[in-house]
Structure 1
Amino acid sequence: MRLRCAVLDDYQGVASALADWSLVDATFHREHLPSRDAVVEALRDQDVVVAMRERTPFDAELFARLPSLRLLITSGMRNAAVDLDAATAAGVTVCGTGSTSGAPVELTWALILGLARHLVVENTALRSDGPWQSTLGIGLAGKTLGLLGFGKIGVQVARVARAFGMDVVAWSANLTEDRTSAEGVRLASSLEDLVAASDVLSVHLVLSDRTRGLVDASVLKSLRPTALLVNTSRAAIVDQDALVDVLMAGGIAGAGLDVFDQEPLPRGHVLRRLPNVLATPHLGYVTDGNYEVYFREAVEDIRAFLDGSPIRVLT
């Protein structure tokens, strides 16, 4: 009997066309499943689930309610929303896929540039016959970009910043001067030093117990009033409630956000309305090239599982 496969969060309705799903009976869910009961109802008879990023938590309680599940595939090779120990205990194999780092780099710069030049305000005014030029843009040349995290994505963000004539400083707990100096980037001595130096602070850390809530109220209040904060990494690294407070008080000039504590961001949420926020609905990885990799390799994972030799297994 052919395996039954559910593909979650196919918002754009493109998954079926980006890979050959003929080896399974595939169901594509265009809408996010909003509750645990909705997830169970939709997936209870599925042998394979393809999950998009960290939108749907898979923990011991959910695995227990999905007795047919044999293979869980996540886009990318890391997913903090999947309890791998619980998966193993439930007899579920968890596999990942490749991804490209260029997509989040590009969106990071879209947010920085959009904030700096007030593109939403000015475009809205132009479309509504509003005032012709009402804002004063922020020139980036000579400004300092602070990178909280200097992995594969952070390095590429830094290279673009240098092309704009920005000074770049970076910090993370285990970052060394050898790594930063090779890219013409200064190493901050501490998180406090990084924040104090930054005209733009961009977050590029992996979410872990150590980084969760790292950018808290005290860090946010230490940013200069003219500073911009950008987060295309993981929402939980920044204290969202504290960020809202700082934004509403005008403590920083603006925030560019692609990740949120709850996704989709609820209708009417304050972050949808604040004029000093440029927000996108978690688009950092949403490009044609990235999706082609995700879904093609998801099918490869299924085929390897059926052959008895799973690949890209997460442990």
Structure 2
Amino acid sequence: MHQLAILDDYQRVAHRYADWSSLEERGVTVTAISQHIAAEADVVAALQDFDIVIAMRERTPFPGRILEKLPRLKLLVTTGAANASIDVEAAARLGITVCGTGGSPAAAPELTWALLLAFARNLTQEEAALRGGRWQTGVGFELSGKTLGIVGLGKIGTRIAGYGRAFGMDVLAWSQNLTEEAAAAAGVRKVTKDELFRESDVVSLHLRLSARSEGTVGERELRLLGPDGVLVNTARGPLVDQGALVTALQEGWIRGAALDVFDQEPLPSGHPLLEVPRTLLTPHLGYVTDASYRAFFGGALEDVKAWLDGSAIRTLTP
């Protein structure tokens, strides 16, 4: 018999997107947990009886100190192809198999562009004003003719570059390993980090979170972006120094920020970003689409079945 936990099923849709009942005949009992478990001690207590865990992206971290306290855990599946909050090296040492899934390549880029358009045309404020009986309360700005800076020209960043060109924007890109050839293939201009923040009207972040990329955007970069600049982050919250960003928004170093990711998730009540001006905030919706969830939950089910058969697939290694 196996006990399987599906974590952070906020919308209670895990059973809609995969046929978990197909595991019953193989002796697997499935429990979907909709409430986020934040404290490490509570995570350990909640998962003591499970030998299979499905984690939704980085919502629940699994550092080595937690894995060591889950002796029954044998299979840990993360939705998506990578998860910076899982200590894969510790898992390997403890004999825990870690697997990933596929995803939707369009979900995050489309959300990124939706945020930018909504911010540029003041959509949330104008809708609220309209419902309150007011008409045309502000003035937006157009993207055409502006400069878009992309930090991280991977699969998502390359899509964003295409969107920017389609909207008539000049597109720049920077990352530590970006080559002239890769930039040219994406139809963008490779620049230095300082040049990107200084020259861009909009900067969009698309780096993978790692020890090297954490804090990529701090006070220096925000001041270079300037009072007319907009920061868009749909990648990972810790890419940005949250304290510096709050100060930048309070003091007007930048025009504003459109954010889907944060240093703490779910964003707790009283978090400074909930109080500062010139922001558009969404609750990490980048991957919350029908197509993504079919890939995530369907892929996780495939991983479990393959592991039960003794031939794990999509394994993540140190």
Instruction: Tell me the TM-score normalised to structure 1 length.
Output: 0.97
- Residue 146 of structure 1 and its aligned partner are, at CA, apart by 0.3
Distance 1:157 1:281 in 2: 20
Q: Of the candidates 44, 50, 59, which is equivalent to residue 46 of structure 1? A: 50
The residue number in structure 1 matching 2:223 is 221
Q: Residues 7-57 of structure 1, C-alpha deviation per residue, up to 9 Å, x if partnerless?
A: 001001100121111212111111101211221121100010000111111
Paired with 1:61 and 1:21, the residues of 2 have a C-alpha distance of: 30
Provide the residue aligned with 1:9 in structure 2: 8
Query: % of aligned pairs identical?
Result: 54
* Equivalent of 1:179 in 174, 179, 182: 182
State the secondary structure of the residue aligned to 2:232: strand
Which one-letter code corresponds to 2:315 in the other structure?
Answer: V
Displacement after TM superposition at 1:273 (Å): 2.9
Structure-to-structure mapping, 1:106-117, within 5 angstroms: 106-117=110-121
Structure 2 partner of 1:70: 74
Deviation at 1:58, TM superposition (A): 0.9
Distance in 2, Cα, partners of 1:127 & 1:254: 24
SS at match of 1:30: coil
What are structure 2's unaligned runs of at least 5 residues?
none
Q: Specify the SS of the correspondent of 1:255.
A: strand
Tell me, in whole angstroms, the C-alpha distance in 2 between the residues paired with 1:200 and 1:48.
Answer: 42
Letter in 1 for 2:278: N
Of the three residues 151, 155, 159, the one matched with 1:156 is 159
Which of 25, 32, 38 does residue 34 from structure 1 map onto?
38
Residue deviations 1:265-296, cap 9 Å, x none? Answer: 01122212333110101110110000000011
Q: 1:194-236 CA deviation, whole Å, 9 max, x = no partner?
A: 1111000000011122211111111111112111000000111
**Equivalent residue of 1:211, what SS?**
coil
Q: TM-score, normalised by structure 2?
A: 0.96
Aligned residues: 312
State the partner residue of 1:58. Answer: 62
* AA of the residue aligned to 2:85: A
Q: Does 1:277 align with 2:276?
A: no
User: Which residue in the other structure is 1:85 paired with?
Assistant: 89
Gaps of 5+ in 1: none
Provide Cα deviations, 1:223-252, integer angstroms capped at 9, x if missing partner. Answer: 121110000001111101100000011111
Q: CA deviation at 1:135?
A: 1.1
Q: Report 1:112-191 matches (<5 A).
A: 112-129=116-133, 131-188=134-191, 190-191=192-193
- Can you list the C-alpha shifts for 1:171-209, whole angstroms capped at 9, x where unaligned? 111111211222321111x10011111000000011122
Aligned partner of 1:241 among 216, 229, 243: 243
